[in-house]
Amino acid sequence: MAKAQINPERTRWLEVLGVSMPLCLSYIPIGLACGILLHAAGLNFIMILLVSVLVFSGGAQFILASLLASNAPLGTIFISLFFLELRYALLGSSLSKYIKDKSARFIFIFSASMNDENYAVNYMKFATDKKWDPDDALLVEYYSLAAWSISNMVGGLIGSAISIDLEVVDFALTALFLYMIVMQVQNHLTLVIGILAAVLGVYFQALTKSTLGIIIATLIASFVGFLIENTVRHHSKHPNSNWFLTKMFRPKITKTTIEDKQAQQKEVKEVEKLETKIEDVVEHHDKKHEERKHDDQHPDEG
């Protein structure tokens, strides 16, 4: 009886799905909340779907909901989202070395489907798994996009079935952004710049009487942070130990691949086996030497 053949392609996409599943599951509560807030801000089911697919950024979509709820002008919304999403230029550049051999069409689709979370998954896999390739990375993006879009749409349907006060939307968004800020604070400089941005945001929003003040405050605070960090790194003998740049917590990061670890473990085992053999040989040699010495000292006993 012939054995059933395992389809390697099917196995691979299932493996990638397993890698993506924690990310997809984490999108469900946030995606539902985002869909509800977008509906409360005035978007219908189709618009929520389009925003989910075309924007595909939780932070940008929550800001979009906030700006729509506050009746911000279209120009302010566009500029806000533009500067917020500029970070993807840096994220994409760090993955470019892994997909540089792919076609322009592939790179375009890959770039359009990338967000913070699937970037983190793919970067980790590229750095730790030699078998991880661009097609696997694109699958992660597809899975995460599907999970996010479906969650947004379901959230939109829930939002259409219940009535939500826009004041609740503002409260929820404020709490979300505070959480995002706290998670970004890794050293004293980011803490100082975050406080500076908050103060400038209040000042310029009161001055301009519009959300454009937040954009101005963000740009000024970012520029000040750049100047401080650049100055510290150029003029301090030990920039990493400088108060401004001292890490508040240091997550452990390693670029050692799984295969490298397995190879190291194999080498250790081989060395241990070799040491055991050497010990056995030495012990056997010592035993023989003792026997010969004993025979030389007591020849009559033989």
Look at residue 286 and tell me whether its pLDDT is greater than 90.
Answer: no
Within the chain, where are the H helices?
A: 8-40, 45-54, 58-69, 74-85, 87-99, 104-112, 116-128, 134-161, 166-184, 188-208, 212-235, 258-297
Q: Which tokens in the block code for residue 171?
A: 């409260």
Please return the burial class of 92, using the count of CB atoms within 10 Å of its CB with bins 0-12, 13-18 and 19+: middle
Please, what is the average pLDDT of the chain? 80
Average pLDDT over residues 171-192: 73
- 261 — pLDDT class (breaks 50, 70, 90): low
- 122 or 270, which is more confident: 122
Residue-wise pLDDT for 206-247, tens only, equals: 888 776 787 788 889 888 888 888 887 777 766 666 666 666
* pLDDT given at position 153: 94
- 31 vs 180 pLDDT, higher one: 31
Indicate whether this model's pTM tops 0.85. no
Q: What is the mean pLDDT of residues 242-268?
A: 59
Per-residue pLDDT tens digits for 59-88: 889 888 888 887 888 888 888 888 878 888
pLDDT of residue 139: 94
Residue 155's pLDDT band (cuts 50, 70, 90): very high
Q: What whole-number distance in Å separates Cα of residue 172 and Cα of residue 125?
A: 33
pLDDT category of residue 295 using cuts at 50, 70 and 90: low
**Is the CB of residue 100 less than 8 Å from the CB of residue 110?**
no
| Top-confidence residue, 210 or 22 | 22
HSE toward the beta carbon, residue 31, CA cutoff 13 A: 24
- Return the domain boundaries, the chain: 16-184, 188-255, 258-301
| Structure-token pair, residue 299 | 């020849």
Among 106, 105, 107, 139, smallest CA distance to 122 is for 139
CA atoms within 13 A on the CB side of 218: 12
| Rounded Cα–Cα distance for residues 34 and 147 (Å) | 13
Query: DSSP states of 269-298 as a string?
Result: HHHHHHHHHHHHHHHHHHHHHHHHHHHHH-
- 182-192 pLDDT per residue, tens: 766 777 778 88
Are the C-beta atoms of residues 68 and 43 closer than 8 Å to each other?
A: yes
What the block records as the tokens of 41 is 């801000």
